[in-house]
Structures are given as structure tokens and as C-alpha cells.
Amino acid sequence: MKKKLGKIVKFKKSKSPNKKIISGKYCNLEPLNINKHSLELYKNFSLDKKDIIWDYLPYGPFKNYLDFKKWLKAECLNKDPFFYAIYSKRFNQYCGMASYLNINTTHGSIEVGHINYSPILQNTTAGTETMYLMMKNAFDILGYRRYEWKCNNLNQGSKKAALRLGFKHEGVFRQMYIFKKRNRDTAWFSIIDKEWSNLKRKYDNHLKKSNFNKDFKQLKKL
């Protein structure tokens, strides 16, 4: 019997994220600049008085702005993870962060993660567009063939968001990490290049300004 092997892939090396601003209708993604972004990010993250936004992240909450700024300098200026500050055009403020990470240009795989939306960015059009812009950049500009989303398997909100955004669940890696002295089983999701064109059309239709009322409430769901 002939052995079954994977199909031949004609793939050129993908590109690493760069310092270009990614612009959309409702938000811009700016490569993190501590002097420009840190204070406003901290103020907007601090709107979450119960610090819920930090529950499933391996860092935070931070006692004060200086601690937050030190963390940014130590952890968020690398090439991997590559962080963006999210600017909401509606609120004219920097109100969230997200990054690319686990960047593998040889195999064409990249992950989106370290997603942290302040209360004013949560459940907004700009929040959805942020994820679309990062996908579009990864597939159309940087040339990746696999786009990943991973989260704590206990984080029901994150898993629900991944499915809403078009990711497919792949499984759970048990006892993958210890964060904040607690076990983390990690749920894996992905989108691959052959799925992207159809998903892109859905995003383009959803994000049309005609799909939102004057209060930015969606008329049709993604």
C-alpha cells in the first residue's frame, strides 16, 4: 500500500509584522508607542473597577500607572509578540491592545492574542473591526496560511468570541500553562487561508456603515 503523505505546498515565506498603522473605518491599530499610548490606555483599562479584564491574562491588574508602564517596556516592545494600541475613532481615544504572537514565517502561522479591550471598546463595531483588520493584514498583506486564537478553556467569553469571529475549534491542550499559580488548559481555534475569502466577504458586508444605526448598533449580526 502506498504511503499517504501531505500534499505538496507551494508556499513562499510570509512576512513579519511591521510598524505600519493599520487603518479601518472605525478604528486604527498603531504599533505600540509607550510615550504616546500608555497613559490613555491605563486610564481606559482602569474604567474596569473590578479588574475583570485581567482575569484570564497572565499579567495584571496593575496597582498604578508606573507599574503598567514598566510592564509595557519590559514585555510589549518586542517583535514577538508584536503589540498594537487600538484607537477608536468614535471616542477619539486609545482604548485597547492586541498583538500578533507565535509568529512563524517559514510555515506561515501566526496567532492573535493578548487581546484586552477596555470597557468603552467592548461590544463595539471598532472592537469587531480590530479583529478583522488583524486577520486581513495577516492573510492579504503578510501572506500567512494559518491564523490562530488560543485562550483559557474556562474563558467562555473568549471561546464564544472566537466562534463568532469565524474561527474553528480544534481542541484543548490540557495543563499547558501555570499562570498566576493556577492551571490553564488552553482551547485552540484557527482560520486557514482557504477559508479566508468567504469570511472576508462576510466581514465586509457586516462592517458597512449601512449596517449600523446612529448609535452604532448593528442591524444584522456577523
92-106: string of b/e by CB count within 10 Å (b at 16+)?
A: ebbbbbbbbbebeee
Looking only at the bridges linking them, the beta strands covering 146-152 and 109-117 are: parallel
pLDDT in tens, 182-212: 999 999 999 999 999 999 999 999 999 899 8
Q: Which residues does residue 160 pair with via DSSP β-bridges, in sequence order?
A: none
Give pLDDT, residue 47.
98
pLDDT in tens, 100-139: 999 999 999 999 999 999 999 999 999 999 999 999 999 9
Largest distance between two CA atoms of the chain: 65
Give pLDDT, residue 3.
81
Count the Cβ atoms, other than its own, within 10 Å of residue 23: 12
Give pLDDT, residue 4.
86
Which domains are delineated in the chain?
22-211 (3.40.630.30)
pLDDT band, very low/low/confident/very high, at 215 (cuts 50, 70, 90): confident
pLDDT in tens, 31-77: 999 999 999 999 999 999 999 999 999 999 999 999 999 999 999 99
State what percent of residues in the chain have pLDDT above 90. Answer: 90
Cα separation, 33 vs 220, in Å, equals 35
pLDDT in tens, 153-168: 999 999 999 999 999 9
How does DSSP assign 15-29, residue by residue?
PPP-S--EE-SSEEE
188-211: string of b/e by CB count within 10 Å (b at 16+)?
A: bbbbeeeebeebbeebeebbeeee
* Residue 53 per-residue DSSP state: G
